[in-house]
């Protein structure tokens, strides 16, 4: 009778151990119900910016068992110029080098790694620099005549790059004054539009290039 009771107790322990192993997950330590990352989407799925102007994406939406971490590869290789936040999936660029970059994102959780090829793109464009001969000379010739052109009764800026460059702060100040106030330029003329004023300011920002 005692032998039968021992056998029953042994069978009970064996069953309990089996239940414990089953409840603790698979042999690889993963949760049996874990689902791999899927349906990763960036909205919008691209970023366009100028050289030197940093930018970043929105966080992606994704399905799968949390937590999920992220890593990227870029084509062509952008190195540290394009990175991803491993926890949020936000893609950032320093926009140091012009080019179009395809970004493939790998999402990882306990169920495994999944690559989402070309999930995002970064287009870094080279902004055309403003130059005296390409932009400024024409503005002066058309807007500041007859005073500031060759033969005029004021300083010649339209045909004298060095003179215009050295006087850039003076020019910017005068053309940005309110029309009709003292020192406003063009003298007795109409205030330059915002786009033209921005070009003159950009000339200084870009380094006062001649051509």
**pLDDT tens profile 157-183:** 988 999 999 999 999 999 999 998 999
**pLDDT tens profile 79-126:** 999 999 999 999 999 999 999 999 999 999 999 999 999 999 999 998
Mean pLDDT for the stretch of residues 57-83:
97
Distances (CA, A) of 55 to 60, 70, 125: 15, 18, 13
**Per-residue model confidence (pLDDT) at position 32:** 74
Buried b (16+ CB within 10 A) or exposed e, 197-206: eebbeebeee
Contact between residue 169 and residue 203 where contact means Cβ atoms under 8 Å apart: no
Closest CA to 105 of 75, 66, 64: 75
Rounded CA gap, 83 and 93, in Å?
Answer: 6
Closest CA to 89 of 131, 22, 41: 41
Closest CA to 36 of 116, 138, 101, 97: 116
């Amino acid at each position: 009778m005692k032998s039968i009771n021992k056998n029953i107790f042994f069978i009970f322990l064996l069953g309990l151990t089996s239940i414990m192993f089953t409840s603790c997950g698979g042999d690889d330590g993963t949760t049996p119900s874990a689902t791999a990352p899927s349906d990763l989407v960036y909205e919008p799925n691209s970023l366009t910016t100028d050289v030197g102007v940093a930018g970043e994406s929105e966080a992606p939406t994704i399905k799968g068992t949390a937590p999920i971490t992220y890593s990227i590869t870029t084509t062509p290789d952008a190195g540290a110029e394009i990175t991803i936040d491993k926890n949020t999936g936000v893609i950032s660029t320093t926009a140091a080098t012009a080019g179009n970059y395809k970004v493939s994102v790998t999402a990882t959780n306990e169920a495994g790694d999944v690559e989402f090829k070309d999930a995002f793109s970064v287009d870094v464009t080279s902004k055309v620099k403003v130059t005296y001969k390409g932009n400024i000379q024409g503005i002066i010739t058309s807007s500041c005549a007859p005073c500031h052109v060759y033969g005029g009764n004021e300083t010649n800026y339209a045909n004298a790059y060095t003179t215009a460059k050295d006087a850039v702060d003076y020019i910017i100040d005068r053309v940005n004054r309110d029309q009709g106030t003292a020192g406003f330029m063009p003298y007795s003329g109409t205030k330059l539009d915002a786009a033209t004023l921005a070009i003159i300011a950009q000339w200084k920002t870009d380094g006062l290039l001649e051509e």
